[in-house]
């Protein structure tokens, strides 16, 4: 099928007309450009202008604080004071002849409680306390009366137990203490034997029986 063009839609015929219009506009613009004249702008020189004359000096004013108000001086007020009269003290004492001032000085003496004398045991005295029969008799007594503890035997413990005690004025033994022990029942065995000792000869100081500390070692040896 053959396509047909509408003669009204053909723009080819209008091309010459559009070209003439554009050329006319271009020529008009060129003519106006040649006829246009530029004007010079006059620039004034402001460098010589003196603006300092227009500056107004403003003086600096200081505001002084107002003076403090002066204190008002009041007139002193005088208050009259009447002098005080010293009280009169009557020192006159009248004694009657019937008064009896006899007193017994013994009534003013109170009996003081008796001083408690502290009878401390001695460590060293002139005559030492002694076991009856001497040291040999003491060693024999200990050997016969001390039972070697079975626990110490099983454990193989042996050594010395250091004991101290007081020999009283009557020769009895008190305050038995273990100073250094070896344990396993040996300490208790030594104390028990000393508790059952016979009386000692007490120590003496200036010929008077006194209390004295005694220190002895008790040997525990396995044979």
Domains of the chain by residue range: 134-220
CA 79 vs CA 34, 76, 82, 132, 161: distances in Å: 119, 9, 10, 103, 97
Model pLDDT, residue 174? 94
Which residues 6+ apart lie within 8 Å of 60 measured at CB?
none
Place of tokens 């004991």: 163
Q: Which pTM was predicted?
A: 0.47
| Torsion angle, alpha carbons of 18, 22, 24, 27, to 10 | -160
Q: Are 217 and 160 in contact (CB under 8 A)?
A: yes
Model pLDDT, residue 176? 94
Whole-angstrom distance, CA of residue 119 vs CA of residue 3: 161
Model pLDDT, residue 59? 53
| Ramachandran category for residue 74: left, alpha or beta (phi over 0 → left; psi -120 to 50 → alpha) | beta
Which residues 6+ apart lie within 8 Å of 197 measured at CB?
131, 141, 173
Q: Which fold has domain 134-220?
A: 3.30.1150
- Average pLDDT over the chain, rounded to an integer: 73
| Both structure tokens of 142 | 């200990």
| Both structure tokens of 156 | 């193989």
Which residues 6+ apart lie within 8 Å of 173 measured at CB?
165, 166, 167, 194, 195, 197, 199, 200
Place of tokens 């007081």: 166
Model pLDDT, residue 166? 94
Model pLDDT, residue 127? 92
Q: For helices 134-145 and 186-195, what crossing angle results, to 10°?
A: 120
67-96 in b/e burial notation, b at 16+ Cβ within 10 A? eeeeeeeeeeeeeeeeeeeeeeeeeeeeee
The residues of the chain scoring below 70 in pLDDT are: 1-14, 35-64, 69-118
């Amino acid at each position: 099928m053959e396509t047909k063009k509408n003669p009204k839609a053909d723009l080819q015929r209008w091309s010459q007309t559009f070209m003439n219009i554009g050329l006319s506009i271009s020529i008009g613009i060129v003519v106006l450009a040649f006829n246009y004249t530029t004007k010079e702008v006059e620039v004034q020189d402001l460098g010589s202008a003196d603006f300092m004359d227009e500056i107004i000096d403003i003086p600096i004013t200081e505001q002084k604080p107002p003076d403090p108000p002066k204190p008002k001086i009041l007139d002193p007020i005088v208050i009259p004071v009447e002098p005080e009269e010293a009280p009169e003290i009557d020192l006159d004492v009248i004694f009657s002849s019937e008064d009896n001032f006899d007193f017994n000085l013994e009534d003013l003496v109170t009996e003081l409680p008796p001083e408690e004398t502290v009878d401390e045991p001695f460590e060293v005295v002139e005559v030492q306390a002694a076991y009856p029969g001497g040291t040999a008799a003491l060693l024999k007594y200990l050997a016969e009366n001390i039972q070697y503890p079975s626990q110490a035997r099983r454990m193989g413990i042996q050594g010395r137990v250091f004991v101290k005690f007081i020999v009283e004025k009557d020769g009895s033994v008190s305050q038995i203490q273990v100073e250094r022990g070896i344990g396993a029942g040996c300490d208790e065995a030594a104390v028990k034997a000393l508790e059952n000792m016979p009386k000692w000869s007490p120590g003496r100081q200036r010929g008077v029986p006194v209390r004295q500390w005694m220190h002895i070692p008790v040997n525990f040896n396995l044979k």
